[in-house]
A and B are shown apart, each in its own frame.
Chain A
Amino acid sequence: MFKLKFALPLLAICGLAQADTLTIDHAMGRTELDAPAVRVVTLYQGATDAAVALGITPVGVVDSWVEKPMYQYLRDELADVAHVGLETQPNLEEIAALNPDVIIAAKMRHEAVYDQLNQIAPTIAHETVFQFKETLDLVAAATGRTDAAEQWHQNWDARIADFQQQVAELDNIDWPQQVALLNFRNDHARIYYSSFAGNILNELGFERPQAHREDVWGVKLTSKESIPSMNADVFFIFMTETDATVMENYQDWTSHPLWNTLDAVRNEQVYRVDQVDWNMGGGPIAAQRMVDSVFEHYGLE
Chain B
Amino acid sequence: MSHVLLRNRSQSLALAFHRRTLIGCALALLALSGLLLLSLCLGSSVLTPTEVFSAAFQADSDHRFVVHTLRLPRALLAVLVGAGLGVSGAVLQQLVRNPLASPDIVGVTDGAAVAAVLFLAWGSALSLDWLPPLAIAGALVSSALIYGLAWRGGVLPIRLVLVGIALAAALKAITTLVLVMSPLSTTVRAYVWLTGSLYGAQWQDVGGLLPWSLTLLPLTLLFARQLGLMGMTDSHALGLGLAVARYRLLLLVCSVGLAGSAVAFAGGIGFVGLLAPHLARGLTGQTMVGRLIGSACTGAALVLIADLIGRTLFLPQDLPAGIFVSAVGAPFFIYLLYRRRH
Contacts and interface: CB of A to CB of B under 8 A. Distances in A.
Interface stretch (B108-116, B162-170, B280-288, B315-323): B315-323
A63 B69 contact: no
A89 B180 contact: no
B192 A93 contact: no
A35 to B, nearest CB: 22
A91 B184 contact: no
B316 A85 contact: yes
Interface centre among B44, B128, B192, B320 (most CB of A within 10 A): B44
Given A111-B128, A115-B202, A217-B183, A86 B317 contact: yes
Interface in B186-211: 186, 188-189, 192, 197, 199-200, 202
B289 to A, nearest CB: 37
A109 B197 CA distance: 14
A116 interface: yes
A88 B44 contact: no
Contact of A120 (B65, B71, B186, B202): B65
Contact of B318 (A82, A89, A96): A89
A161 interface: no
A31 B158 CA distance: 58
A120 B69 CA distance: 10
B291 interface: no
B317 A85 contact: yes
B192 A116 contact: no
A82 B316 contact: yes
Contacts of B70: 92-93, 96, 116
Interface string B144-169: 00000000000000000000000000
A216 interface: yes
Given A93-B43, A93-B45, A113 B66 contact: no
B185 interface: yes
Interface residues of B, number: 28
A86 B192 CA distance: 12
B44 to A, nearest CB: 4
A142 interface: no
A216 B192 contact: no
Interface in A81-105: 82-86, 88-94, 96-97
A103 B315 CA distance: 20
Contacts of B278: none
A218 B187 CA distance: 14
Contacts of B202: 115-116
Contacts of B180: 220
B297 to A, nearest CB: 27
Nearest to A128: B185
A94 B199 CA distance: 14
Contacts of A128: 185
A129 B316 contact: no
B311 interface: yes
B44 A113 contact: no
A113 B71 CA distance: 14
Given A83-B316, A85-B316, A93-B43, A217 B185 contact: yes
A119 interface: yes
Given A93-B44, A113-B199, A119-B65, A84 B316 contact: yes
Given A96-B65, A111-B128, A115-B202, A91 B185 contact: no
A15 to B, nearest CB: 35
A28 B316 CA distance: 26
Interface centre among A63, A86, A90 (most CB of B within 10 A): A86
Contacts of B200: 92, 112-113, 116
A15 B32 CA distance: 58
B295 to A, nearest CB: 29
Nearest to B43: A93
Contact of B66 (A88, A96, A115): A96
Interface string A60-96: 0001000000000000000000111110111111101
Nearest to B127: A111
A89 B317 CA distance: 8
Contacts of B184: 217-218
Interface string A34-52: 0000000000000000000
A85 B315 CA distance: 7
Interface string A207-220: 00000000011101
A24 interface: no
A63 B317 CA distance: 9
Contacts of B45: 93, 97
A91 B318 contact: yes
A86 B185 contact: no
A108 interface: yes
Nearest to A218: B184
Given A88-B192, A96-B70, A108-B189, 4 more contacts: A97-B44, A112-B128, A116-B69, A119-B65
Q: Which 9 A-B pairs have the closest CB atoms?
A: A93-B44, A113-B200, A91-B318, A85-B317, A94-B316, A217-B184, A112-B200, A85-B318, A89-B318
6 contacts: A84-B316, A94-B316, A97-B45, A116-B69, A119-B69, A128-B185
